[in-house]
Amino acid sequence: MATIRPQTLAEFIADGAIHVVGICLGLTASVILAVALWNAEDPARQLLVTIYAACLMTMLICSALYNMLARDHKTGILRRLDHAAIFLMIAGTYTPLAGIIIGGWTGGILLAVVWTGALTGAIVKLAHLQGLERLTVPIYLGLGWLVVFAVNPLIENTSSFGFFMILAGGLLYTVGTVFYAWKRLPFQNAIWHAFVLAAAVCHFGAVFHDVALARGLS
């Protein structure tokens, strides 16, 4: 295993700033979604969006705690929570998109597969099973791109803006993994987290526009 380059103070501050911005944006997004759906007579839509918001905040908070407080503890509980929360974020993002936009049997099956994979992955990370570390990123990407098997109903039921935001978010996450793996690159951690935050913003745009604001259209 390659030696990880020690993080400089400037890199630590840059990464911390991105995490602070991310948590602030996550809280703002959660409030916006709550306000948009406050009077909606659609409990299912409210529940699915709430699950999404909860998973978003879990991922942002766990990432901040680990990277700001315990980045050098590679086997500690905060690292395991951070990695497990990424699985929850993937499934949480799918929840309103597949449950509301795609809908029907296709959306239901997609959600069942993604949540089964995400919960299994999260349990594996929390249990700290050895030998699976190299498979983590490929599994993240595999779960994230499962939507290609439902691309036709996604295109049929989403707006052009929503589809572009979903696609852009997926591409940003995927390109970001290059920087996640590039451990010797200066400001590598901050760059990786900037990609994650940008992707999360894109997916929020899709959820807000095509789920929270599109009540009664699906």
Please enumerate, by residue number, every residue annotated as part of a binding site for Zn(2+): 193
Detail the residues annotated as belonging to a binding site.
193
What is the C-alpha separation between 96 and 94, in angstroms, rounded? 6
User: Do residues 96 and 52 lie in contact, with contact meaning Cβ atoms separated by under 8 Å?
Assistant: yes
Phi, psi (deg, nearest 5) at residue 160: -60, -40
Reported residue count of the chain is: 218
Give how far Cα 87 sits from Cα of 26, 46, 81, 155, Å. 17, 22, 10, 25
Q: Match 């990407």 to its residue by tokens.
A: 141
DSSP 98: I
Radius of gyration of the chain (CA): 17
